[in-house]
C-alpha cells in the first residue's frame, strides 16, 4: 500500500518513515513532486490545516494521503505560537529564527512558568473520501537556551522533564516513544493495519 505524505519537511518525513516501519506501506511525499501545488495553511486549528492538506492532496494524487499539523503552545504566552508555530518569526523564517524569537519572549521568565505542550493532529484521507483523525501531545517546558543537535523545529528548546533533556538531545528511539508525533503515529499504525486487512 502506498501512502502519500503531504509534506516537504524532511524531519517529518524521516520521523513518519521510522514510526511506520514494518507497516507494509511504501511512502512518497511532496519532496518527490517538486512541481506539486502549495496549499495555504490558513485554518484556525491544527485539525483544520491537516484536513485541508490531506483532502487536497488525496484528490491531487489519487492516493491514500496523510497530512499533519503540529505546534507548540506555551502557557505563559496564552498558547502561542500554536498554529503559527512554523512561521512564528515570519513567513520566510526557519527553525532557528522561530526558536530565538520564542526565547526572547520568555527572557527572564523562571523555569516553573515556562510550561508548554507540543500538539500534533494527523489526518488520513482515502481517495474515495474517507477521513481518519488522530492526535498526540507531549507536555514539557521551554528551555532557557537551545540544546542538542537532533530533531528539528522547536526540539532544541523543548524540555521533557522526566528526561531532563530537550527533544533535540534525545535519541531517535526516545523521541519516537515520547513525542507528540510519535503518539499520534502509533494510533495511525492501528488504522493503517485495518486498511491492509480490508
All cell numbers assigned to 18 = 521510522
Catalytic option among 69, 91, 95, 155: 69
Structural domain boundaries, residue 53: 2-197
d(CA 58, CA 39): 13
What pTM does this model have? 0.90
- Could you report the per-residue pLDDT of 86-134, keeping only the tens digit for each? 999 998 889 999 999 999 999 999 999 999 999 999 999 998 889 999 9
Residue 69 is among the residues annotated as catalytic for this protein: yes
Domain CATH code at residue 66: 3.90.950.10
Question: How many domains does one find in the chain?
Answer: 1
Q: pLDDT category, 193, cuts 50, 70, 90?
A: confident
Q: Where are the alpha helices (DSSP H) in the chain?
A: 10-19, 46-61, 95-105, 172-178, 180-197
Residue 161 predicted with pLDDT over 60: yes
Amino acid at each position: 500500500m502506498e501512502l502519500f505524505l503531504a509534506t516537504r519537511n524532511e524531519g517529518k518525513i524521516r520521523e513518519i518513515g521510522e514510526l511506520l516501519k514494518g507497516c507494509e506501506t511504501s511512502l512518497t511525499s511532496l519532496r518527490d513532486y517538486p512541481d506539486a501545488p502549495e496549499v495555504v495553511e490558513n485554518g484556525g486549528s491544527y485539525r483544520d490545516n491537516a484536513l485541508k492538506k490531506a483532502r487536497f492532496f488525496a484528490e491531487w494524487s489519487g492516493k491514500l494521503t496523510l497530512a499533519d499539523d503540529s505546534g507548540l503552545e506555551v502557557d505563559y504566552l496564552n498558547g502561542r505560537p500554536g498554529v503559527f508555530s512554523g512561521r512564528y518569526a515570519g513567513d520566510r523564517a526557519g527553525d532557528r529564527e522561530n526558536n530565538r524569537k520564542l526565547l526572547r519572549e520568555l527572557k527572564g521568565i523562571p523555569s516553573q512558568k515556562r510550561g508548554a505542550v507540543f500538539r500534533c493532529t494527523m489526518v488520513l484521507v482515502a481517495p474515495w473520501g474517507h477521513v481518519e483523525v488522530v492526535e498526540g501531545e507531549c507536555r514539557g517546558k521551554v528551555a532557557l537556551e537551545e540544546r542538542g543537535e537532533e530533531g528539528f523545529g522547536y526540539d532544541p528548546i523543548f524540555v521533557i522533564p522526566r528526561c531532563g533533556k530537550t527533544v533535540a538531545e534525545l535519541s531517535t528511539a526516545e523521541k519516537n516513544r515520547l513525542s507528540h508525533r510519535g503518539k499520534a503515529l502509533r494510533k495511525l499504525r492501528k488504522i493503517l493495519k485495518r486498511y491492509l486487512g480490508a
